[in-house]
């Protein structure tokens, strides 16, 4: 009989993690999936009861306006899973939504796995207790995460799937595919995957691009979007700035291709910064939040660095410009430094090269084995010890 999995993912990165896990599970057992799935998960056979975009919000102030709808959706999912009784429910990231869902189902005796640790190492460390109360097993992406949970929950370090999939890129092939000249100065702009991020970043990125084009006439920009809504927000910023002549290649998806073709990446803090590091591209990180969200996070944060590459490396290898420091002056100045000093670019790329060694572990397979070991102990081909903890 096929195993039945409830699976709930939030936003684009969760969709990719979920799709990889689903594919690895399907290789091992006959199984079905239902919950909240993105397009990649749907392509793996997932049945989505709600659009994944429903969960793509960030920041305290941003969530408040969506709270009634999110609570209603979560309650309906809890009722549905209680009736359908899947063999296991897997919550992928989106902890403010998934952990409460998981906790209700765990209390009802349904096995629960949470995939991706909340950023307890950064702030709100009390969520260690919340995760332990909500899930039977935690799958961690980063090697520094398991110690935070020791003695509270069964946690498995599985590595990061991006480190298994992404390899140093062929710049010329990527440019040929995007119809960019080999001698262009190509800058990939990644202002975020959520509509709230585009609202915060689009004008900043457009103003920065305009100034860089004036400074470097051979400059070309590549901007990937996850959906029509985020592209429309960026296009509105172009109109406000009257940037009608800005040489931009727009793409639906294919963010990695954009970074592969680039000489420099300017990205909103998030998974894209890890992708840029693994591809081996010089990187500038920026981020803005609603003021209320920023001040709460700043008051509770324990981090010396905010971008994933810097946190993994334990050093300021990548320049970060956050909130009030996120200005076009700062981004242009840093871009000029990296463009005009190849030794600085080489130093950054060399530092980021260490990240692959940390994270490449065959994550999809290890995650699938950890799930199956919970659902059917003894049947998984990898033991808990081989998955690591």
* pTM for the whole structure: 0.81
- pLDDT at residue 383 greater than cutoff 50: no
Banded pLDDT at 388 (limits 50, 70, 90): very low
What are the phi and psi torsion angles at 360 (to 5°)?
-80, 105
**Two domains, one topology: 3-159+361-387 and 167-358:** yes
Instruction: Indicate the class that CATH gives domain 3-159+361-387.
Output: alpha beta
Q: pLDDT digits over 123-166, tens only?
A: 677 889 999 999 999 999 999 999 999 999 999 999 999 999 99
**In terms of CATH, what superfamily is 167-358?**
Glycogen Phosphorylase B; (3.40.50.2000)
Nearest to 224 by CA among 179, 197, 192, 194: 192
Q: Are 9 and 18 in contact (CB under 8 A)?
A: yes
Domain boundaries defined on the chain: 3-159+361-387, 167-358
Tens-place pLDDT, residues 228-258 = 999 999 999 999 999 989 999 999 989 999 9
Say what the pLDDT of residue 59 is.
45
288 or 17, which is more confident? 17
């Amino acid at each position: 009989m096929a195993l039945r999995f409830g699976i709930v993912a939030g936003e684009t990165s969760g969709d990719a993690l979920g799709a990889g896990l689903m594919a690895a599970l399907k290789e091992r057992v006959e199984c079905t999936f239902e919950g909240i799935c993105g397009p990649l998960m749907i392509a793996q056979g997932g049945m989505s009861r709600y659009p994944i975009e429903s969960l793509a919000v960030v920041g305290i102030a941003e969530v408040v306006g969506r709270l009634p709808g999110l609570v209603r959706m979560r309650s309906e999912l809890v009722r549905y899973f209680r009736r359908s009784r899947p063999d296991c429910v897997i919550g992928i990231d989106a902890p403010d939504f998934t952990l409460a869902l998981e906790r209700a189902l765990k209390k009802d005796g349904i096995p629960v796995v949470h995939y991706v640790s909340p950023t307890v190492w950064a702030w709100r460390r009390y969520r260690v207790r919340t995760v332990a109360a909500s899930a039977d097993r935690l799958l961690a992406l980063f090697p520094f995460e398991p110690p935070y949970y020791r003695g509270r929950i069964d946690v498995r370090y599985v590595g990061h799937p991006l480190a298994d999939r992404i390899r140093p890129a062929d710049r010329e092939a990527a440019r040929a595919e995007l119809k960019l000249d080999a001698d262009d100065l190509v800058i990939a702009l990644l202002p975020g995957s959520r509509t709230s991020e585009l609202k915060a970043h689009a004008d900043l990125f457009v103003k920065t691009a305009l100034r860089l084009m004036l400074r470097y006439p051979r400059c070309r920009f590549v901007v990937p979007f996850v959906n029509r809504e985020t592209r429309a927000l960026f296009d509105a910023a172009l109109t406000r700035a009257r940037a009608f002549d800005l040489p931009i290649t727009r793409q639906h998806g294919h963010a990695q291709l954009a970074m592969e073709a680039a000489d420099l990446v300017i990205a909103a803090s998030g998974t894209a910064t890890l992708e840029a590091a693994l591809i081996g591209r010089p990187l500038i990180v920026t981020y803005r939040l609603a003021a209320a969200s920023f001040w709460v996070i700043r008051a509770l944060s324990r981090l010396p660095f905010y971008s994933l590459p810097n946190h993994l490396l334990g050093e300021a290898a990548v320049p970060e410009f956050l909130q009030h420091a996120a200005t076009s002056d700062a981004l242009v100045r840093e871009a000029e430094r990296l463009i005009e000093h190849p030794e600085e670019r080489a130093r950054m790329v060399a530092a980021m090269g260490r990240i692959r060694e940390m994270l490449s572990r065959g994550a999809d397979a290890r995650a699938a084995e950890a799930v199956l070991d919970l659902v059917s102990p003894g049947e998984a081909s990898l033991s808990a010890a081989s998955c690591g903890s």
